[in-house]
DNA sequence: CGCGCTATTGATATTCATCAAACTGCGTGG
DNA sequence: CCACGCAGTTTGATGAATATCAATAGCGCG
């Protein structure tokens, strides 16, 4: 990798695109000032590893822009994604010294980092950060449990449809549109990353995407741009009990 | 079911077997007094449903004794367990009105319940409950992610070995013994519940247990009592990367 | 232009699910 | 007391879903 482009941007928290959703969402201006004093930004290129499982981790962070993944790897190389981190999501665990998972930037990524010790102190002395972090962690736990249902009980086709639904919904949220009728977006993951998310092989992912395309559930332009003519149809294919599916 | 034995025991918190591990673990005596005022006990018989997904849930609770499960069910009946609740584990989500999962007592169960509103108030005014709940939720999230690796990437045999390891470890913890060399315990789950935990069918669970027995990895007395002659051997079968595996 | 990466598609193998039958232990009622 | 029934479990035969191995195709980029 030739260039080591450590773009150190500096935002005012007031302008921050994730101000209202991240771990700082509930902070008053006083708390925000304290956070502002210990924060710094880091950028990563698509494909870069942020940290390896087991490595010392002296910071926690929020994803500002871009997408990162958490993955676990077994000794023989089998891999399972266990987290998909979108803007405003939190990385790292207060009170833990080493990373528990591999963290990888799948797109160009900017994170707002806090050195761990000052962040932990701040959590002790001000309630709002801890409260928000609890709320976010509970949301993640719900998402993890939905994901467990997918991994344990859904067919390959249902898994693909579910993942496309999750991405479509998130994308619609960013664009402030309800996920109804036709919508389209770019896949932020390769076939292999999708396979790691879904507990499948990349070949099976490819085949099922082709099948959904053949059946008119989705349309593709190039490999990455997906159009969904009928969102409800996709949801039927995903076999989600609660059509709502993901909270938020 | 003939008997509807709603044993309403009343413990002093000081004597409580889960005092040092549950959501109240960090409370000082003042906070404990406030908790004591809003707590009440509920008992359930093995097999009883505590609450159905979607039902109104006006309390949160700690498991005091016994085991409960969280499960999700799809419209066509496919089921996936998404939580296994042991003594000291927390049930319910502050700020949520309805249950997100089916909660079932798999053994006789006693829970220490708090009406939701007073509990939420208490979380606002005292920090220790929220802090402890955050810690517990982060632990659960880690466990869920370990579980996702199991569901997505492990073979049936590895799944069984992993589950036996988890149960054995927990049991050893209760007995204050390191899980080394030979140890034995009773399975708290039926074959079907194990299947729901592991994303398998009960037939596959049964076959793999038989296979592990044939291969001398485990020994059985009756259907439920398991002896593990060599814990390290079991861990090899489970293919866990970090032999430690579960925190705790 | 051709290399390397991602993706698709095909042929085959393997694992696990499904359908089916029978066994075990235990409580109940004849 | 024994027979019956039932829930939980085991085991067998078969089939379907997905993994594996392999070849090829698109596509951006040096």
Query: In the block, which residue shows the tokens 């707590």?
Result: B39
**pLDDT per residue of chain B (248 residues) written in tens, 0 to 9:** 333 444 556 678 989 999 999 999 999 999 999 999 999 999 999 999 999 999 999 999 999 999 999 999 999 999 999 999 999 999 999 999 999 999 999 999 999 999 999 999 999 999 999 999 999 999 999 999 999 999 999 999 999 999 999 999 988 887 777 766 689 999 999 999 999 999 999 999 999 999 999 999 999 999 999 999 999 999 999 999 764 444 44
Q: Measuring CA to CA, which residue among B218, B213, B214, B211 is closest to residue B233?
A: B218
Q: Please answer yes or no on whether B149 and A95 come within 8 Å at the CB atom.
A: no
Residue given tokens 């209202």 in the structure block: A20
Separation in Å: D19 C1' and A220 CA: 25
User: Residue B62: beta bridge partners?
Assistant: B90, B112
DSSP sequence for A213-241: HHTTS-EEETTTEEEES-HHHHHHHHT-S
Q: How far is B241 from chain A (nearest CA, A)?
A: 5
> Which of B138, B145, B239 is nearest residue A74 as measured by Cβ atoms?
B239
CB B198 within 8 A of CB B205: yes
Q: Which nucleotides on strand C sit less than 7 A from a protein beta carbon?
A: 6-11, 15-20, 25-26
**Chain A residues with CB inside 8 Å of B201's CB?**
none
Local structure of residue A14 (DSSP, 8 states)? G
Question: How many Å apart are CA A247 and CA B11, to the nearest integer?
Answer: 37
Spatial distance from the CA of B221 to the C1' of D6 (Å): 22
Residue A56 is given by DSSP the state B
- At B175 the pLDDT is 79
Query: Is A145 at the interface with chain B, CB within 8 A?
Result: yes
What is the tens place of the pLDDT at every residue in A173-227? 877 777 666 899 999 999 999 999 999 999 999 999 999 999 999 999 999 999 9
State the nearest Cα–Cα gap between A15 and chain B, in angstroms: 29
Q: Residues of CATH 2.60.120.10 domain(s) within chain B?
A: 13-148
In the structure, how far is the CA atom of residue A220 from the C1' atom of nucleotide D26, in angstroms? 14
Unique residue bearing structure tokens 């998402």: A143
Positions of CATH 1.10.10.10 in chain A: 155-238
For an interface test with A, the pick among B53, B83, B84, B141 (most A C-beta atoms closer than 10 Å) comes out as B141
Q: CATH number of A155-238: 3.90.1150.10, 1.10.10.10, 2.20.25.160, 3.40.190.10?
A: 1.10.10.10
* CB of B20 nearer than 7 A to strand D: no
Residues of chain B with CATH 1.10.10.10: 154-238
In the CATH hierarchy, which fold is given to the domain comprising B13-148? Jelly Rolls (2.60.120)
Task: For residue A183, give Cα distances in angstroms to A94, A167, A189, A215, B112.
Answer: 39, 11, 18, 17, 47
Nearest nucleotide to the CA of A210, by C1', is C8
Taking an 8 Å cut-off on Cβ atoms, the answer to whether B95 and A135 are in contact is yes
Which nucleotide is closest to the Cα of B223 by its C1'?
Answer: D9
Summarised one tens digit per residue, pLDDT across range B64-88 is 999 999 999 999 999 999 999 999 9
Q: Which nucleotide is nearest to B189 (CA to C1')?
A: D8
Contact by Cβ (8 Å): B181, B231? yes
Residues with Cβ within 8 Å of residue A42, at least 6 apart in sequence: A6, A8, A61, A110, A111, A113
Residues of B in Cβ contact (< 8 Å) with A75: 239, 241
Is the shortest CB-to-strand distance from B210 to strand D under 7 Å? yes
Which residues have CB under 8 Å from B76's CB, separation 6+?
Answer: A239
Alpha-carbon span A85 to A105, nearest angstrom: 9
- Which CATH topology does B154-238 take? Arc Repressor Mutant, subunit A (1.10.10)
Nucleotide nearest A152, from its CA to each C1': C16
Sequence-distant (6+) residues with CB within 8 A of B146 are A72, B245, B246
Coil, strand or helix: which one is A187? coil
Residues 6 or more apart whose CB falls under 8 angstroms from that of A183 comprise: A168, A171, A172, A177, A227, A228, A231
Q: A215-224 burial, b for 16+ CB within 10 Å, e for fewer?
A: eebbeeeeee
**Helix, strand and coil percent figures for chain A, each rounded to 5:** 40, 20, 40
């Amino acid at each position: 990798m030739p260039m080591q482009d450590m773009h150190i941007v500096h935002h005012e928290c007031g302008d921050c695109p994730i101000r209202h959703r991240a771990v700082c969402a509930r902070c008053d201006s006083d708390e925000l000032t304290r956070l502002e004093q210990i924060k710094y930004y880091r950028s990563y290129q698509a494909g870069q590893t942020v940290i390896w499982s087991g490595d010392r981790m002296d910071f926690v962070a929020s994803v500002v822009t871009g997408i990162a993944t958490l993955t676990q790897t077994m000794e023989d190389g089998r891999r399972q994604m266990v987290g998909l981190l979108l803007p405003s999501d939190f990385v790292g665990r207060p009170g833990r010294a080493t990373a528990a998972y591999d963290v990888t930037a799948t797109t160009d990524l900017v994170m707002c980092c806090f050195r761990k010790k000052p962040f932990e102190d701040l959590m002790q002395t001000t309630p709002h950060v801890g409260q928000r972090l609890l709320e976010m962690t509970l949301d993640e736990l719900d998402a993890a449990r939905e994901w467990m249902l997918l991994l344990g009980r859904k067919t390959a086709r249902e898994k693909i449809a579910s993942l496309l639904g999750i991405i479509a919904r998130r994308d619609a949220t960013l664009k402030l549109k309800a996920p109804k009728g036709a919508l389209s977006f770019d896949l932020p993951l390769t076939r292999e990353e999708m396979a790691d998310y879904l507990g499948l092989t990349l070949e099976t992912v490819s085949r099922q995407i082709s099948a959904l395309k053949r059946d008119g559930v989705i349309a593709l332009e190039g490999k990455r741009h997906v159009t969904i003519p009928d969102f409800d149809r996709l949801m039927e294919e995903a076999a989600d009990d609660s059509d709502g599916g993901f909270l938020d």
